[in-house]
Structure 1
Amino acid sequence: MSAERFNLVSFTGKMKVLHLSWMAFFITFLVWFNHAPMLQAMAASLGLQPSEIKTLLILNVALTIPARVIIGMLTDRFGPRIVYSALLAVCSIPCFMFAMADDFAQAAIARFLMGFIGAGFVIGIRIVSEWFPANELGTAEGIYGGWGNFGSAAAAFCLPVIALWFGGDDGWRYAIGLTGLISLLFSFVYYQNVTDTPKGSTYFKPKHLGAMEVTSKGDFFLLLIMKIPMYAAMALLAWKLSPAGVSMLSETTVLLCYVGLVLLYIYEVSHVWKVNKTVFTEEVPELHRYEFKQVAVLNILYFATFGSELAVVSMLPLFFAETFDLSPVVAGMVASAYAFMNLMSRPGGGWLSDKFGRKPTLLILTAGLAVGYLVMGMVDSEWPVWLAVVAAMVCSFFVQSGEGAVFAVVPLIKRRLTGQIAGMTGAYGNVGAVTYLTVLSLVEYSTFFLVIAGTAVIGFIALLAMKEPKGHMTEVNEDGTVEMISVN
């Protein structure tokens, strides 16, 4: 850990790493949501139907489910510096592909591949946890997540203007291509300017790369259960692309997808068994145990918080445009108010967790989230636009503060598994997004918001089972010595 003072205006040491990391995350969100504010222009240019537009929204978050798990494992194994730099460079390619798409099929493939960049978030969670002590961790992770998440608001606010500046039917293409170029260039900046840990610190790596480690029999089965919703979300996507949905895939292809997902789950179960079979024959020393229940609760909470944010950021410009008959540019700017709250809300959630405890903060924010979406479900054309914007911003405060509070806990469970835990919890956010966007494709806007409120209530109930992090977590150095890492 770096012992220097927490100073936001500094650009040295741990603060330099924090600033460059949130910038990298900002760019991933700028790229990931570069389509949302220009859906109407894209639809006109490519001749897209409403069902195809909603399918693009689902495709945009689908690949991020397995990607966050994979990227989490790679981060733990190879370090954040290399993995973040590579992700930014590689994901510029589907961004350029999307900018040059000529029809729905090409746009859909590029949008699906671009979902991989949404995994960037979990990389920064690990590197920030390496540089900041526990009493600053919630605030630092909140700044990383909140300021980085603002990339979606920047996309909503700036890209329509850039598209208009370029002008013509292809203005949206130039705006989207520009975000890909930014991503490519910043990959080199990040690689040259960060290190995985402060000088002299140990970067703890997991014992196994193929699956997450658990420390009890009960946790083994809970891990397998918690894997199922991720596969179910991908099956849901396949169904959406089937003849029962938008007919992008044939019935035979969709059936093969279902079979493939089942086989993949069985394969993953075998890896989980290979990594963790010793828990059935010998007891893990108490010093080295952690409770996977903590991870499961955080997964559910992130399903409701980040899952709803992803879904709402994707649909809110369209919601305001249709509900209040606004132009695409004005609707995009108005909708950006929801994501704009990230600048303060997510750091605020982390700061509250540092000051007042992880669990009490999460309980209050989750309750507020449920009420916020209940109010959003009541918004209609009779409301003044300004009041609808206020309702969206208040709801956004609880959503994004909740996200900050969730990831104030994630790095305090097991240091060497932080990437994998962040990857799984982050993936649940995308499971939530796929679920909510699928619901949106079937129901009215008001029902969509009420469904999110209901899942927030479920998250509140699950949260009662979480334990407040206390004491220390332990890791073993290469020389066999035990290192105690404070979580208070």
Structure 2
Amino acid sequence: MSVEKFNLFAFTGKMKILHLSWMAFFITFVVWFNHAPLLQAMAKSIGLTPSEIKTLLILNVALTIPARVIIGMVTDQFGPKKVYSALLAICSIPCFMFATADDFGQAAIARFLLGFIGAGFVIGIRMVSEWFPANELGTAEGIYGGWGNFGSAAAAFCLPVVALWFGGDDGWRYAIGLTGALSLGFAFIYYFNVSDTPKGSTYFKPKHVGAMEVTSKGDFWFLLIMKIPMYAALALLAWKLSPAGVKMFSESTTVIFYVVLVVLYFYEASQVWKVNKSVFTTEVPEMHRYAFKQVAVLNILYFATFGSELAVVSMLPLFFAETFQLDPVKAGMVASAYAFMNLMSRPGGGWISDRCGRKPTLLILTAGLAIGYALMGMVSSEWPLWLAVVAAMACSFFVQGGEGAVFAVVPLIKRRMTGQIAGMTGAYGNVGAVVYLTVLSFVDYSTFFYVIAGTAVVGFVALLAMEEPKGHIVEVRDDGSVELINVSR
């Protein structure tokens, strides 16, 4: 663990790792959301219908749910340096495919594959946790998440300008292709400028590959239960693509998809059994145990925080346009205030967590999140526009601050499994987005905000069961010696 001073303006040692990691995350989000600000130009260029545009938006998040789990496991096994570099390089390929697409089918396949780059976030969580001590970890993870997450807003502001600069009907293609080139180039920059751990430190890998380890019988069943919502969210996406939704899938294809999801769930359950069957015959020593309820609580909280952020960012421009009779450009600018809060709110949530405690910070921010969304549910055309914007920004602070506080805890549960834990928690954020956007398709805006507030209350109640991280994580080196990793502030 690096002991140098935390200096945000430095670019050496651990600070170099932090800056290069948030830049990598920033680029993944630019690529992941590079289509959003250019949809109108694309639709005109290759003849997309409104239904096909909605389908592309769904496909963009579909693969990210399983991808975050898979990437988390791969990161723990092979290290964040190799995995982040490979992800940036490999995902430039579907980005170029999307830029050269001539019809909906080609665009749909490329967009589906690009959902994988949304898993990049979990890689940096493990990288940052290797370089920063517990008393700085929340701040560092918050900066990584907040500044990297801003890539989606940067794409919204910059890519239309780039497309106009190139000009012509193909301007959008050059803009999207440029993001692919950026991803490919930074893959090499990242690989040759970072290391998985500070010099002399050990990179701990999971004992087993294929499923998350648990340390008690009860946690075995708890893990299987917590896997179900991820498969249910994928089933929900299939339903939205079925004849009952945007009609991309036929009825028979949809049924096959459901069957495949059931088979995959039971296959994963068999892998969980294979990795953890020993807990039914041999008691895990106390010093090697961890409580899976810690992971479950963080999953629920990220469902409510990042899940709501993804959903609200998608609908907020339309909400302001319809509620206050604004033109699309002005509505987009007003709604961008919500996303801009990421630059300070997420690092702020991590910073407060470092100083005031993990659980107290999460309790306060989750309560604020519930109140904030309840307030958003009250916004109407009778409100002054400025007051509605203030309400959205205040709500955004608690949402993104909560995200920072969640990932101030994730690396403090079990070091060798940080990637897997981050992957599962991150996947729950996408599950939340799918659920909330599905709810929005059935209810009005006010009810939508109240539903999010209600899930935040559920998260607050679940949070009462979480334990404040303290003491040490015990990990065993390859030579059999024991290392104690401090997790107290």
Q: TM-score, normalised by structure 2?
A: 0.96
| In structure 2, C-alpha distance between the alignment counterparts of 1:297 and 1:248, rounded to whole Å | 35
Matched length: 488
Rounded to whole Å, the distance in 1 between the matches of 2:223 and 2:102 is 42
How many Å apart are 1:447 and its aligned residue?
2.5
The residue number in structure 2 matching 1:439 is: 439
Looking at structure 2, the residues matched to 182 and 322 of structure 1 have their Cα atoms a distance apart, in angstroms, of: 36
Distance 1:332 1:218 in 2: 48
Q: C-alpha displacement at 1:42, in angstroms? A: 3.5
Tell me the equivalent position of 1:417: 417
Pairs within 5 Å for 1:387-406: 387-406=387-406
- Aligned residue for 1:127? 127
Shift of 1:171: 3.0
Given that 1:146 and 1:342 are in contact with CA atoms closer than 8 Å, whether structure 2 keeps it comes out as yes
> C-alpha displacement at 1:327, in angstroms?
4.7
Shift in alpha-carbon separation, 1:176–1:313, aligned structure 2, 3 A: farther
Question: Partners in 2 of 1:395 and 1:47 — Cα distance?
Answer: 38
Counterpart position of 2:36: 36
Structure 2 CA distance for partners of 1:89 and 1:320, relative to 1, 3 Å: farther
Work out the CA distance in 1 between the residues paired with 2:49 and 2:338: 26
Give the 5 Å matches for 1:341-360: 341-360=341-360
1:313 Cα deviation after fit: 2.1
Per-residue CA deviation, residues 75-130 of structure 1 (Å, 9 max, x unaligned), is: 00000000001111111122222223333333322222111111000000001000
User: Could you say which residue in structure 1 is the equivalent of 2:457?
Assistant: 457
Could you say if the C-alpha distance between residues 353 and 235 of structure 1 is closer, same or farther in structure 2, counting changes exceeding 3 Å?
same
> 1:46 & 1:295 partners in 2: Cα distance?
44
CA contact (8 A) 1:58 1:438 kept: no
- 1:333–1:467 distance in 2 versus 1, CA, 3 Å: same
Q: Judge which range, 79-88 or 311-320, deviates more.
A: 311-320
User: Share of identical aligned residues, percent?
Assistant: 84
Residues 260-302 of structure 1: per-residue CA shift (max 9 Å, x gap): 1111111111110010000000100001000000000000000
Partner residue in 2 for 1:374? 374
Q: Is the 8 A contact 1:37 1:329 kept in 2?
A: no
Amino acid at match of 1:95: C
**1:3 aligned partner:** 3
In 2: Cα distance, 1:104 partner to 1:313 partner: 24
Q: 2:16 maps to what in 1?
A: 16
Structure-1 residue corresponding to 2:64: 64
The residue aligned with 1:76 is 76
Query: Residues 35 and 333 from structure 1, CA distance in 2 versus in 1: closer, same or farther, beyond 3 angstroms?
Result: farther
Cα offsets for 1:413-432 (capped at 9, x unmatched)? 00000000000000000111
Q: Aligned in 2, Cα 1:247/1:296: closer, same or farther, shift over 3 Å? A: same
Which amino acid is the alignment partner of residue 119 of structure 2?
Answer: A
CA pair 376-160 structure 1, distance change in 2 beyond 3 A: farther
How far 1:377 sits from its partner (Å)?
Answer: 2.4
Quote how far apart the aligned CAs of 1:183 are. 1.0
Aligned equivalents of 1:23, 1:232: Cα separation in 2: 33
Deviation at residue 321 of structure 1 after TM alignment: 4.0
Question: Match for residue 178 of structure 2?
Answer: 178
3-state SS of 1:470 partner = coil
How far off its partner does 1:162 sit?
Answer: 2.4
Q: Deviations over 1:155-196 (max 9, x none)?
A: 122222223333344333332222222111111110110000
The 3 A distance-change label for structure 1 pair 443 and 36 is farther
Q: In the alignment, what sits opposite 2:226?
A: 226
Unaligned runs of 5+ in 1: none
Partner letter of residue 465 of structure 2?
A
The residue aligned with 2:288 is 288
TM-aligned CA distance change 1:349 to 1:81, over 3 Å: same
Following the alignment from structure 2 to structure 1, what is the Cα–Cα distance between the partners of residues 383 and 169? Answer: 33
Q: Which amino acid is the alignment partner of residue 178 of structure 1?
A: L
- C-alpha RMSD over aligned residues: 1.6
Using the TM superposition, give the Cα deviation of residue 324 of structure 1 relative to its aligned residue in structure 2, in angstroms.
4.2
Range with bigger deviation, 152-161 or 79-88 = 152-161
| 1:49 shift after superposition | 4.1
- In the TM superposition, 1:244-255 aligns within 5 A as 244-255=244-255
Unaligned 5+ residue runs, structure 2? none
TM-score, with structure 1 as normaliser: 0.96
Q: 1:141, 1:350 within 8 Å by CA — same for their partners in 2? A: yes
For 1:154, the aligned partner's letter is A
Aligned to 1:236: 236
Counterparts in 2 of 1:317 and 1:159: CA distance versus 1, 3 Å: farther
Q: Which sits farther off after the overlay, 140-149 or 304-313?
A: 304-313
Cα 1:314–1:172 change in 2 (3 A) is farther
Q: Which residue of 2 aligns with 1:430?
A: 430
1 CA distance for matches of 2:319 and 2:104?
Answer: 22
Distance 2:75 2:328 in 1: 39
Which amino acid in 1 is paired with 2:216?
Answer: S
Distance 1:46 1:332 in 2: 24
Match of 1:113 in 2: 113
Which AA in structure 1 matches 2:462? A
SS state at 2:479 partner? coil
* Displacement of 1:53: 3.1
Secondary structure at the counterpart of residue 54 of structure 1: helix
Distance in 2 separating the partners of 1:90 and 1:378: 45
> Does residue 340 in structure 1 map to residue 340 in structure 2?
yes
**For 1:193, what is the secondary structure of its paired residue?**
coil
User: Once the 2 structures are TM-superposed, how far is the Cα of residue 31 of structure 1 from its aligned partner?
Assistant: 1.1
